[in-house]
Structure 1
């Protein structure tokens, strides 16, 4: 056990292996709008947990309840084993968060923003404040821009600075709402690498994102929300396991391949360039390949691609990812 864990009071350590647990968590706003409806969510310790859903599905409202920014209408939420929002003071020193974009002082430099935020933490040791700020800036790649005023930062730099604020101290739980918003591809890769490193160090990461590739690449577990309700949750690898993939034929004879596949009973056939796809039939795929070759189709690639996280999301919600709910 490290010094930080030894110094941590038992009351803040949680009970068992679940870092977040909600039961029947519900939020209804004035006017009757039901934003979150009876949510039962379980986030295992040590996981990188992806939180998915179309716009308006209740993800950000859920996060705001988990960190004590708003109170639920009914139901319960426990974070690190303590009830929220009642235990906010005991829990939040162990939680880093970046929610709905960082709130920064534009007239202060990136470094001074972190120093100001750290000074607001009554549990932070002022003697090591500058060292912690420098380490956090370095971890998100902002050392060179540390003296630049935040109002001159790009959107991606502001996201990095917000993440640095969440990393000023070691955290047992990191809550990130769209952490790669505004970042270029290189910046997105760096943040994904950082998330993996943090998880490797024992931090549980709760990650809300609209980027399905991002979730698929870094997350170990996932939950899907739609219209305020939980659709499913579990390990990422099992989410699409029950779905059939897509038959893919690569050929310069796409039109002929599409025709033969339809004649062979393949459904939902589509051609795009030299790539022809369809629903895998309930028959020996070798026979299907033979039928293509016999018809004179030059087959350069043939197989079934596994279902993606996007396929699973569409099957579960019936919605595209950018639909306002």
Structure 2
């Protein structure tokens, strides 16, 4: 039996090696490849924790539930524990404590049964620079024991076309831009139909057009029945493409649920459209509004705790020419700031 690598940050003695080898044997008995059962949730973690050597707590007691058929956004600033969580879910590292189940099976114990049903792009693709994009995919596919060699070139061509790399398929990967490498890594994850697609910052390095294309592809995959687990630090990206989301900060889960519900629980910003922005801002502050922001012909603020009809009347009484007044729908950014007291990159 192949010797298993030591868990990251841990000293592994002979007894531990023997125990983990036994776990692999048990994994083969849990669910043979191709027999992973249908479940209502594709990812469930309970008290999942990862502490590295030196005491660094990367993930702290994570309870995560990802519904089947969702586009699930895993949201948080860089360093919040997103990638460490994904690596535990995929069996790349072992948790310090807690449990994780993927497609109804325990990970990493059932990795051999689960991973053939999962496509993943984690921390950027690992590519052979001296090979073309096409040959990289052929090599990836040849390493998959479940892949049919008779349809290999057809599937490789289809994956390249799906991510917009057909024209660059013969180009060596070392000459690819960062965005092209991301596309090629995504193509590798799409070589075969997957029940779950795990993407870690999939739009990293892409221009705005490339971002839109990848978002459209994610929606298409979801409509075909694939559950997509999408890690990102871009709030705008999550809000545009995801049905559900979880927010991480400093290794801990802040909240999770349907994207619309996360935003609905947060009060939106008050806005006043007026040419008299200075006077409007003064009146809003007098009425108890906070975080007043002035733009060219618009003033926004956190609404005061009073009847907004009275606020509007105060503006009119003060001679402010009100051309628009109301409360905007709260965004996912508003929800995140309300939950954590901080923000992060929201560029899309």
Q: Distance in 1 between matches of 2:206 and 2:33?
A: 39
Cα distance, 1:306 vs. partner? 1.7
Structure 1 length as normaliser, TM-score?
0.93
Q: Distance in 2 between matches of 1:63 and 1:10?
A: 21
Q: Secondary structure at the match of 2:78?
A: coil
Q: Which residue of 1 aligns with 2:218?
A: 195
Conserved in 2, the CA contact under 8 Å of 1:67 and 1:84?
Answer: yes
Conserved in 1, the CA contact under 8 Å of 2:33 and 2:113?
Answer: no
Q: Distance in 2 between matches of 1:292 and 1:43?
A: 46
Aligned counterpart for 1:302 among listed residues 310, 315, 325: 325
Q: Secondary structure at the match of 1:158?
A: helix
Conserved in 1, the CA contact under 8 Å of 2:131 and 2:173?
Answer: yes
Answer yes or no: is 1:123 the counterpart of 2:159: no
Q: Which residue of 2 aligns with 1:39?
A: 62
Aligned counterpart for 2:315 among listed residues 288, 292, 295: 292
Question: RCO greater where, 1 or 2, for CA within 8 Å and sep 6 or more?
Answer: 1
Query: Unpaired segments of 5 or more residues in structure 2?
Result: 1-30
Conserved in 2, the CA contact under 8 Å of 1:258 and 1:269?
Answer: yes
Q: Which residue of 1 aligns with 2:50?
A: 27
Q: Distance in 2 between matches of 1:85 and 1:10?
A: 14
Conserved in 2, the CA contact under 8 Å of 1:12 and 1:82?
Answer: no
**5 Å matches for 1:1-325?**
12-14=35-37, 16-321=39-344
Cα distance, 1:50 vs. partner? 0.3
Q: Which residue of 1 aligns with 2:7?
A: none
Q: Distance in 1 between matches of 2:261 and 2:82?
A: 21
- Superposed CA RMSD in Å reads 1.6
Give the total of aligned pairs: 315
Q: Distance in 2 between matches of 1:304 and 1:108?
A: 55
Structure 2 length as normaliser, TM-score?
0.87
Cα distance, 1:76 vs. partner? 0.9
Q: Distance in 1 between matches of 2:75 and 2:64?
A: 13
Cα distance, 1:131 vs. partner? 0.3
Q: Distance in 2 between matches of 1:315 and 1:161?
A: 37
Q: Secondary structure at the match of 1:214?
A: helix
Conserved in 2, the CA contact under 8 Å of 1:118 and 1:129?
Answer: yes
Conserved in 1, the CA contact under 8 Å of 2:42 and 2:103?
Answer: yes
Q: Secondary structure at the match of 2:191?
A: coil
Conserved in 2, the CA contact under 8 Å of 1:269 and 1:278?
Answer: yes
Q: Distance in 2 between matches of 1:91 and 1:16?
A: 13
